[in-house]
Amino acid sequence: MKITNVRAHVLEAKLSQPFAYSRAWYDTRTAMLVEIETADGLTGWGECYGPARMTAAVVRSIASWLIGEDPLRTDVLWQTIYARLRDHGQKGVVIQGLSGIDIALWDIKGKHFGVPVHQLLGGAARIEVQAYATGLYRRKSGDPLKYLPEEAAAYAAEGFRAVKLKIGFGIEEDASVTGAVREAIGDVALMVDANHAYDAVAAIRLGRMIERYDIGWFEEPVPPEDVAGYHAVRSALSIPIAGGECEFTRFGFRDLFASHALDVAQPDTCAAGGLSECKKIADMSEAFGIRYNPHVWGTGIAIAASLQLLAVLPSHTPTSLAPIAPMLEFDRTEHPIRQAILTRPIEHAKGVVRVPDGPGLGIEIDREALTRFAVSD
């Protein structure tokens, strides 16, 4: 079996109303999908997290290296691409581009053998995954002390047993909103995500103000480059510290793990190196006793790839009679492309998502939707 074609699909859709996290406003959602075709008629799909046009340029630059190669040699192809670009792209958009390619190759591999990817990764430890609702962003109008608790309560009413709140809008406001959301959701787990809005001094001050709200984790309290800041925050607070969506490959996570800067690692499968690399990062995470909960921010392809990996991850407390399993990040914000590209959307049932059990990633792509959202070059 040989690779015959590699395509990058840049997609874009306007939102009905903008929303914000601590660093930026969104009025558009984008996606960058990778399609790899083989001479045997099999097609694999992957997705790249990050700036769509930039990751598309990376994939198109790499494409010629893959033509004629055997798509089943996933590790060999990963190492070949990484080695050729090591001088220029150990992190960032190069690895994000490689991630989408790698996921597409695993999709082909699963289809070739007629099994879901999780079977090839070692076999499923679970076929259903508890999801947490990511949402609770800021809006252009309204009082966040009113609309954020209402939104969080709606997720709880849907059956989600965990939600994540976006913070990073000022210490006092963040503390007030966190308290209001906690009151609205009762005993539902609550995580907070600052998207590296603060330095260590501010993050510690905020963390001490919200510790009483039983926070599941404090995500990206400081910039990803500030490993010492992660240490300071982790040492000062009882709240578990999470991060890693801005880190790449086992080499980047090796240093985070060895320094014990995190309680919860959050590699993005579509960014940190794809399924090949994220399985290695997950194994290393287990060896260091650090929990692994992947970051997920994309379309149904990103969700499917993350579910295939989540299926094989060990529980965080493997010897417990009631083991704590890794969770799926389930984005609930508006994203017209997310489920539209799938012929069968990936949905939750009372906060639980089934792992797709079809060959490969277990999904089929709606090509009409690709055309509808396509961005012309």
* Residues with catalytic function: 295
d(C-alpha 99, C-alpha 95), whole Å: 6
> Which alpha helices (DSSP H) does 216-299 contain, by range?
227-236, 249-258, 274-287
- Residue 162, classified by CB atoms within 10 Å of its CB into exposed (0-12), middle (13-18) or buried (19+), is buried
Q: First vs last Cα of the chain: how many Å apart?
A: 31
DSSP structure class, residue 105: H
Left, alpha or beta for 273 (phi > 0: left; psi -120 to 50: alpha)? left
Q: Count the Cβ atoms, other than its own, within 10 Å of residue 286.
A: 15
- How would you label 123-136 residue by residue, b for 16+ Cβ within 10 Å and e otherwise? ebbbebbbbbbbbb
CA atoms within 13 A on the CB side of 187: 0
d(C-alpha 90, C-alpha 76), whole Å: 17
d(C-alpha 40, C-alpha 61), whole Å: 24
Give the C-alpha distances (Å, rounded to integers) separating 77 from 68, 81, 125, 281, 359: 12, 6, 27, 18, 21
DSSP-derived pairing of the beta strands 24-38 and 3-21: antiparallel
Q: Count the Cβ atoms, other than its own, within 10 Å of residue 202.
A: 18
| Residues paired with residue 330 on neighbouring β-strands, in sequence order | 133
DSSP-derived pairing of the beta strands 162-166 and 128-134: parallel
